[in-house]
Chain A
Amino acid sequence: MTTTPAGRRTRNTLLGWSFLLPNLLGFALLTMVPVALLFYYAFTTWDIFGGAEWTGLDNARQLMHDAGFWAAVQNTLYYTVFHIPLTLVVSLGLALLLNKRLRAVAFFRTVAFFPYIASIVAVAQVWNMLFSPGYGPINAVLRAVGVDHPPGWTTSADWSMPAVILVGTWREMGYFMLIFLAGLQTVPGELYEAARVDGANAWQRLWAVTLPCLRPTTFFVVVMLTVNSFKILDLILVMTNGGPGQSTLVLAQYIYRKGFEENQFGYASAVSVVLFLLCFLVTVVQFVVNRRREA
């Protein structure tokens, strides 16, 4: 039995590694290695059965002329630009609403959170039926209130993306509401008191006290929303499968198509790198902006 400090340090290090290892090893083998390989495959013509021929920038060059790819980029940005602010506002609104002493507040919080844990396939199926242009209840209501030509929703190129954004917001609002609720608990009550003494109304209290205090939370939510929006796939796959035409084709789905449907894993990797860079770039900008505001 050694009890020298050096011996203890080694022991602690080893012990630490033994705790880390099970997860770290799995993460390294199943996530890190494939991700690192992806950057290599992006410059090859890999088609899964060997044959990863190095083609340099050929994939990138082809991307430039690939209308399908650009449509996917455009649609992903479309989704992101509308989904982030909408979800932010809705989830913050819900959090403010459900932060009050209401009757059955726990019930309403559960209701708002429920979409997030419901199975996405079932949810998409039900929304698709609700949106159904001919027989769906949404259009039935619209017609009842006097809209003669209600939108075709998921069956129309102009309305399919708004429909997906609506469902995406509905699904994620509960989760981010929960995070905002947690953030709201950290706002000191004294600040509200002081604001009230100064004669600030509810609106001014929100602007001057709540929002500034929530900035760390808001920042976290925005970053999460950005990443979630860029990699949106499941909802699109089950709701519209990218259609009609290419109206809801997004980058993640384009990667899936090129890789798993057309077996062009090299090219799919190149698109993945673009998606990665896009996420990376936007997140870095967000971090820089946030730091500047904090300073």
Chain B
Amino acid sequence: MKRRTFAVLGAVTALSLALTGCSSGDGESGGDGKNTLTLAGWSLATTPEFKVLADGFHTANPDITVELKEYDPKNYDTQMIADLAAGKAPDVYVQKTLKNFYTYQNGKQLLDVSDVASGLGSTANGLPFYQVDGKTFAVPYRQDSWVIYYNKALFDQAKVKYPDASWTWDDYAAAGKKLTAGLKTAGSKALGIYQHTWQSTLQGFALAQSPGADLNSGNFGYLKPYYTRAVDLQKAGAQVQLGDATTNSLTYQAQFGKQQAAMMTMGTWYIATLLSQQKSGDADKFEWGIAPAPQADKSTTGTSATPVTFGDPTGMGINPKISKDKVDTAKKFLAYVASADAAKALAGIGITPANTDAAADAIFAVPGVPTDEVSKFAFTKHDTKPENPVGKYTAPLQNILNDLHTAVLSGTKDIDTAITEAQDRAKNEVLNK
């Protein structure tokens, strides 16, 4: 009897240990053989870029296989941080946002890959964002930039001229109002502009384009003209109010794709989405184009100048817990993802690779991509600043500025009060800690 009790006890203990995740496991990061690399990705079914890169690398190096490990796109960083802390993360993982690069780099979760970076030269846009104290910790494979998307059919209907490379924000706002009025006359319900709910739609441009603007200075006065203009556009009815966009969970894909708005600013990642949605029927079929982002003043407009915009690179870094004999293979993979070959492969599925110059021909050969001169100019020529600086204050300052964003655009606070308040909070809660 007693023996049986102990047997039961033992079995129960083992079971509960297993259930609570305490079973003994090896702390090694994934991958079985020396010739297998594991790579993190998200939404593999709808985000083909990881498979394109893995397959492309395998074709060039038939003895090496890259296995994909899927993560949830919305909780990617939370899950990755947990996996890294637990020693279960893949060999190579993606820097989905630049904002969190600091967390990984400062937490010593990225291997120094300066040797890979020096081999790339200046072909990879966005590489400098991953450099800290002269060392490189990740390599970009895509670099998106914000541009204007516009619907040619709605512009024609409202009898407004297509955007060219000459627009400042005031031109953009004036065109938005003119479009709204013109569309109303033509019997359309579409508005001139759709501005998505994200704080970056205004703050990204304001930080990139305002001379002397610095997030870490705690002076946010540079935001004022951008918010004043947006509030005015909301009041004029030329764009949907922030409150209506959030309460109805509007998506920018539907707003532009279903022709609810004649134009919007958005990152170049939307090119691939729009193409596939027009094919699948999730978006209407209409002719569209892209144009350079509106500029703060005339000094950076026109095709002879370089328009200033923003956008974050997406990069790959190496998990420092990778087994030693695989480090060289992982570095080889990193060099591949930033190469011209990978850039062409990525462009073939509508993605903006970090090596934009090598890929321009490939992307304009994709059926459905607009090939007019302005679109080509917008795609290839820009001075793209990061949405935010890399640093320890970025995440908390972003949260404070997001409160400003919702307060001002909902009409709860005027921009001056909101800026003063945000500056006080930045000082007390973040900078003078």
Q: Footprint of B on A, CB under 8 Å?
A: 1-2, 7, 11, 14-15, 17-18, 21-22, 25-26, 29-30, 47-51, 62, 65-68, 125, 128-129, 131-136, 152-158, 242-247, 249, 257, 260-264
Query: Are the C-beta atoms of B407 and A244 separated by less than 8 Å?
Result: yes
How would you classify the secondary structure of chain B's contact residues: helix, strand, loop or mixed? helix
- Given contacts A66-B428, A133-B247, A263-B81, whether A21 and B433 have CB atoms under 8 Å apart is no
| Contact of A132 with B412 in the complex, beta carbons under 8 Å | no
- CB of B22 within 8 Å of the partner chain: yes
Are A243 and B403 neighbours in the complex by a CB distance under 8 Å? yes
Check A68/B429 contact, CB under 8 A, given A48-B85, A129-B248.
yes
Please tell me if the beta carbons of B399 and A257 are within 8 angstroms of each other in the complex.
Answer: yes
**What total count of A-B pairs have CB within 8 Å?**
141
Q: A21-B16, A135-B248, A153-B247 are in contact. List 4 more A-B contacts (CB 8 A).
A: A25-B17, A133-B247, A155-B410, A249-B403
**Residues in chain B within 8 A of chain A (CB atoms):** 1-2, 5-6, 8-9, 12-13, 15-17, 19-20, 22, 78, 81, 84-85, 103, 106-109, 241-244, 246-249, 395-396, 399-400, 402-404, 406-407, 409-413, 418, 424-425, 428-429, 433
B412 touches A22 (CB 8 A): no
Q: Which residues of A contact B109 (CB under 8 A)?
A: 49
Complex Cα–Cα for A157 and B417 (A): 14
Q: Is the CB of B403 within 8 A of A15?
A: no
Tell me which residues across on chain A come within 8 A of B411, comparing CB atoms. Answer: 152, 156
Closest CB in chain A relative to B246 CB, distance in Å: 7
Q: Point out the residues of chain A lying under 8 angstroms from B1, CB to CB.
A: 1-2, 11
Of A155, A257, A260, most B-chain CB atoms within 10 Å: A155
**Closest approach, in angstroms, between the C-beta of B89 and any C-beta of chain A?**
12
- Interface pairs A-B: 7 shortest CB-CB: A155-B243, A49-B107, A245-B407, A243-B406, A244-B410, A157-B412, A132-B247
Tell whether A125 pairs with B249 under 8 Å between CB atoms, given A2-B2, A260-B78: yes
Smallest Cβ distance from A110 to chain B, in angstroms? 29
Assembly CA distance A46 to B232 (angstroms): 44
Q: List 23 A-B contacts (CB under 8 A).
A: A2-B1, A11-B5, A17-B9, A18-B9, A21-B12, A22-B15, A47-B103, A48-B107, A49-B85, A50-B107, A67-B429, A68-B429, A129-B247, A132-B243, A132-B244, A136-B247, A152-B411, A156-B412, A157-B410, A242-B403, A261-B399, A262-B395, A262-B399
B20 and A26 contacting across the interface, CB-CB below 8 Å: yes
> B106 — which chain A residues lie within 8 A by C-beta?
47
A259, closest chain B residue (CB): B78
**Chain A residue at smallest Cβ distance from B85:** A48
A132 touches B248 (CB 8 A): yes
Cα(A26)–Cα(B108), bound, Å: 31
- Bound form: Cα–Cα A147–B8 in Å: 70
Measured CA separation A160–B214 after assembly (Å): 32
Separation of A269 and B326 alpha carbons in the complex (Å): 38
Residues of B with C-beta under 8 A to A154 = 243, 246-247
Query: Which residues of chain B are within 8 angstroms of A14 by Cβ–Cβ distance?
Result: 5-6, 9
